[in-house]
C-alpha cells in the first residue's frame, strides 16, 4: 500500500505545482559546494599540526565555493557567486591553479539538449559546446527535508573526466598498489619519479547520490546534474557535496539566462585533447629539467 500511496502523492504534487508555474516562471537556487581532501595522502603525516592547519586554510577558498543556479522551465545557468577577497588573501595560489580546471558559467537547455561552458585554460578562453548528456538515475523512495522542501533520493553511476581535480587522489596507497607499482618500475629501469603527475590517478566512475524536490517540478540542478522530476537540492559525488542553501522563486527582478559566447568553440572531447597535450608538454618539460639540471648545492 505504501508504494501506490507514494505515487499518488507525487502525482498530486506535480499537478498542484504545475498549475502555479506561470509562463515567465523563474527561480534562483544558491548552493554551497565543498570538496574534502585528505592531506595525509599528500605528505601530511610529516607535517606539524600548525603547518597542516595553515595549508587547510589556504585551500579553503579553492575547495569551498558558492554558486547560483538561475533557471526557468527549460534553461539554466550555473555561476560561481564570486566574492571580493580581502587584500593579501590566502587562497590566491590555489585559486589560480584551480581556474585552469574549474569551469566558468555553465548553460544547460533541457529542451534542446544543449550545454555550453565558459572555460579558461592557461590564459586562453574556450567555449565548450556539446550535447547535454544525462545520467541513468535510479529512483528511490527514501525522503528527507532540506529547508522547506521534501526531497526524494536518486542514485547514479557517473563517468569521471580524467582531469576532474575533485576526484584526484594519490596513486598506490594500498599494499596491492605498492606491489604493482614496484613491479612496473622493475620492468622499466629508465622510469623516473621526477614526474609529479605519475603520482596522481582519477577513478573511472563514481557513485552519485542526489536529492530532488517535486515541489519545484523542473528537471534542473547544479553543475552537470539534471534529469530528475524536480529541482536537485543536494548532490553527494565522491568527495564533493553540493547543497542548496537558499531558493528564491519568481524574484521581482528577473535575470536573462544568456548563453556564454566568448572563446574558441570546441566540443568536450576536443577540449580534453587540448588539456592532454598541454599536460604532456608540462610533464616533458618538468622531467627534462630535472634530468638535465642535476642537483644544486
Q: What is the pLDDT of residues 63-121, one digit of tens each?
A: 889 999 999 999 999 999 876 554 444 444 444 445 555 678 999 999 999 999 998 88
What pLDDT is stored for residue 63 in this prediction? 82
Average pLDDT, the chain: 76
Whether the predicted pLDDT of 271 surpasses 60? yes
Residues 146-171 have a mean pLDDT of: 82
Q: Which strand ranges, in their side-by-side order, compose the sheet holding 231-237? A: 138-146, 149-159, 205-213, 231-237, 240-249, 27-35, 64-71, 75-80, 106-109, 114-121, 124-131, 264-266
What is the distance, to the nearest Å, from the Cα of residue 82 to the centroid of all Cα atoms in its chain?
A: 16
Residues of the chain above pLDDT 90, percent: 41
What pLDDT is stored for residue 132 in this prediction? 95
Q: Which residue in 117, 123, 97 sits closest to 105, CA to CA?
A: 117
Whether the predicted pLDDT of 233 surpasses 50? yes
What pLDDT is stored for residue 178 in this prediction? 45
What pLDDT is stored for residue 10 in this prediction? 54
Confidence of residue 5 (pLDDT cuts 50, 70, 90): low
Whether the predicted pLDDT of 39 surpasses 60? no
Pairing of the two strands 124-131 and 264-266: parallel
Domain ranges in the chain are 8-83+91-292
Question: When comparing pLDDT for 202 and 135, which is higher?
Answer: 135
What pLDDT is stored for residue 212 in this prediction? 98
What pLDDT is stored for residue 211 in this prediction? 98
Whether the predicted pLDDT of 46 surpasses 70? no
Question: When comparing pLDDT for 19 and 150, which is higher?
Answer: 150
CA distance 143 to 81: 29
Confidence of residue 185 (pLDDT cuts 50, 70, 90): very low
Confidence of residue 51 (pLDDT cuts 50, 70, 90): low
What pLDDT is stored for residue 272 in this prediction? 85
Confidence of residue 277 (pLDDT cuts 50, 70, 90): confident
Q: What is the pLDDT of residues 186-223, one digit of tens each?
A: 444 444 455 555 667 777 889 999 999 999 999 999 99
CA distance 233 to 222: 8
What pLDDT is stored for residue 201 in this prediction? 74
What pLDDT is stored for residue 113 in this prediction? 96
Whether the predicted pLDDT of 18 surpasses 90? no
The pTM assigned to this predicted structure is 0.74
Amino acid at each position: 500500500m505504501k508504494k501506490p500511496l507514494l505515487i499518488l502523492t507525487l502525482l498530486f504534487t506535480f499537478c498542484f505545482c504545475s498549475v502555479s508555474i506561470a509562463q515567465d516562471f523563474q527561480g534562483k537556487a544558491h548552493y554551497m559546494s565543498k570538496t574534502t581532501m585528505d592531506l595525509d595522502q599528500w605528505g601530511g603525516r610529516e607535517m606539524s599540526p600548525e603547518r597542516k592547519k595553515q595549508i587547510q586554510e589556504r585551500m579553503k577558498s579553492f575547495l569551498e565555493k558558492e554558486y547560483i543556479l538561475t533557471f526557468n522551465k527549460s534553461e539554466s545557468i550555473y555561476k560561481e557567486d564570486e566574492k571580493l577577497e580581502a587584500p593579501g588573501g590566502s587562497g590566491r595560489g590555489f585559486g589560480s591553479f584551480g581556474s585552469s580546471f574549474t569551469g566558468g558559467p555553465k548553460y544547460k537547455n533541457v529542451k534542446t539538449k544543449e550545454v555550453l561552458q565558459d572555460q579558461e585554460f592557461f590564459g586562453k578562453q574556450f567555449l565548450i559546446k556539446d550535447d547535454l548528456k544525462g545520467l541513468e538515475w535510479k529512483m528511490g523512495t527514501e525522503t528527507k527535508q532540506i529547508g522547506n522542501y521534501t526531497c526524494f533520493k536518486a542514485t547514479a553511476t557517473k563517468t569521471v573526466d580524467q582531469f576532474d581535480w575533485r576526484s584526484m587522489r594519490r596513486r598506490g596507497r594500498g599494499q596491492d598498489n605498492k606491489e604493482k607499482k614496484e613491479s612496473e618500475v622493475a620492468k622499466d629501469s629508465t622510469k623516473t619519479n621526477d614526474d609529479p603527475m605519475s603520482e596522481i590517478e582519477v577513478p573511472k566512475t563514481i557513485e552519485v547520490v542526489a536529492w530532488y524536490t517535486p515541489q519545484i517540478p523542473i528537471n534542473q540542478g547544479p553543475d552537470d546534474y539534471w534529469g530528475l522530476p524536480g529541482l536537485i537540492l543536494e548532490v553527494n559525488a565522491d568527495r564533493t557535496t553540493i547543497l542548496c542553501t537558499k531558493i528564491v522563486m519568481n524574484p521581482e527582478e528577473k535575470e536573462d539566462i544568456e548563453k556564454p559566447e566568448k572563446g574558441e568553440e570546441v566540443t568536450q572531447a576536443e577540449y580534453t585533447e587540448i588539456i592532454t597535450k598541454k599536460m604532456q608538454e608540462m610533464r616533458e618539460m618538468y622531467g627534462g629539467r630535472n634530468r638535465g639540471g642535476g642537483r644544486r648545492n
